[in-house]
Amino acid sequence: MVYLDHAATTAVRPEALAAMTEEFGRLGNASALHGAGRAARRAVEEAREDIAGALGASPNEVVFTAGGTEADNLAVKGLYWARSAAAPRRRRVLVSAVEHHAVLDPAHWLGGRQGAVVEELPVDGRGAVRPEDLRAAIARDPDGVALVSVMWANNEVGTVQPVAELAAVAAEYGVPMHTDAVQAVGALEVDFSAHAGLAALTASAHKIGGPVGAGALVLARGVDPEPVLHGGGQERDVRSGTLAPPLLRGFAEAARLAAAERAEHAGHLARLREELVRTVHKAVPDAVLNGDPEDRLPGNAHFSFPGCEGDALLMLLDAQGIACSTGSACTAGVARPSHVLLAMGADTDTALGSLRFSLGRGSTAADVEALGAAIGPAVERARAARGKRRR
């Protein structure tokens, strides 16, 4: 199989698997006071230190979750509840129009069930939020804003947001800003402490060679969201639930290695991505590369193929042993146009006729060559099939 869907998930690194295997052989609840419990707690806290180091945070700022979706929900719902409880007129939730559904859906749930006023920040044709647009949105009623959430890098088109500038604008008005950095960790330099004004940051283990089922929400000092889960009061009373030392050790090992190898890895991916872009354009000259042509994730190449339906094209490539996606894996199989492309100004046909190719650890030039050999015939067949249906 040629795997070009690393944005959806990545293979567990051998080092992470070894750490998890070792820890799975041990017994102990990290909340227990006896020796076995203290050993489990030690594994958890050492993992917290490694993950904090990889994210440019302090260990006491890291709250463990079961993944990116939970961390996003905790950030959006928790910050809204805490801020609106302190000042009831703080009901505005500002999110970019291209956010992952793990941010958009809880925001709109708050709008439908909790009285929030959800405002989607516009993006330009590259998929980026302009700082001046955020400033204008906050300035309309700064005292009424509960939070801002803008992702670090887009999971579909790969555009990197001006996080530092956006966080500075939010901080100027005293508004906490959350960023979903799930796609950015391991690919870009992610330094939480270097971005003054960031209140919260989401990370996920399985995007960087760690296990599915582990994530983190980094919370700046003094930022205390209301919990979404209640129970044993673990993780500073912010996120109750029994901690999983094996998964956290795997997460920590993957995060440590991702940070250490990031620059070299990103350079390799960027070179391979440029070759992929050239290869696709050679085979399909009218394919359109979406997102920022330069300021993008190094392993992301997102194309629109005029005259094609993305799902049909995906299945034709899959039949050739090439795995890719039409966008977020969380919405796979849902016959609706990409909200990201629509927000960027694309029409419905263009938004439905797109594919994302995402490179990662283990991707090779041979993978790109295989795609180059398959994409042209697949596009021809997809166009022919669509033409027959329309007749």
Q: In the structure encoding, which two tokens stand for residue 179, read together?
A: 């960023």
Is there a catalytic annotation at residue 330? yes
Using DSSP bridges, classify how beta strands 62-65 and 145-149 pair: parallel, antiparallel or unpaired: unpaired
Q: CA 331 to CA 308: how far, in whole Å?
A: 19
Q: CA 129 to CA 123: how far, in whole Å?
A: 5
Residue 162 identity: P
CB count, 10 Å around CB of 65? 26
Beta carbons within 8 Å of 263's beta carbon, 6+ residues apart: none
Q: Which of 117, 330, 373, 385 is catalytic?
A: 330
| DSSP letter assigned to residue 391 | -
Q: CA 118 to CA 34: how far, in whole Å?
A: 47
Q: In the structure encoding, which two tokens stand for residue 246, read together?
A: 């094996």
- Phi/psi for 217 (5° steps) reads -115, 115
| 268 CB-contact burial (10 Å; exposed 0-12 / middle 13-18 / buried 19+) | middle
Q: CA 252 to CA 246: how far, in whole Å?
A: 10
Catalytic positions, written as ranges: 330
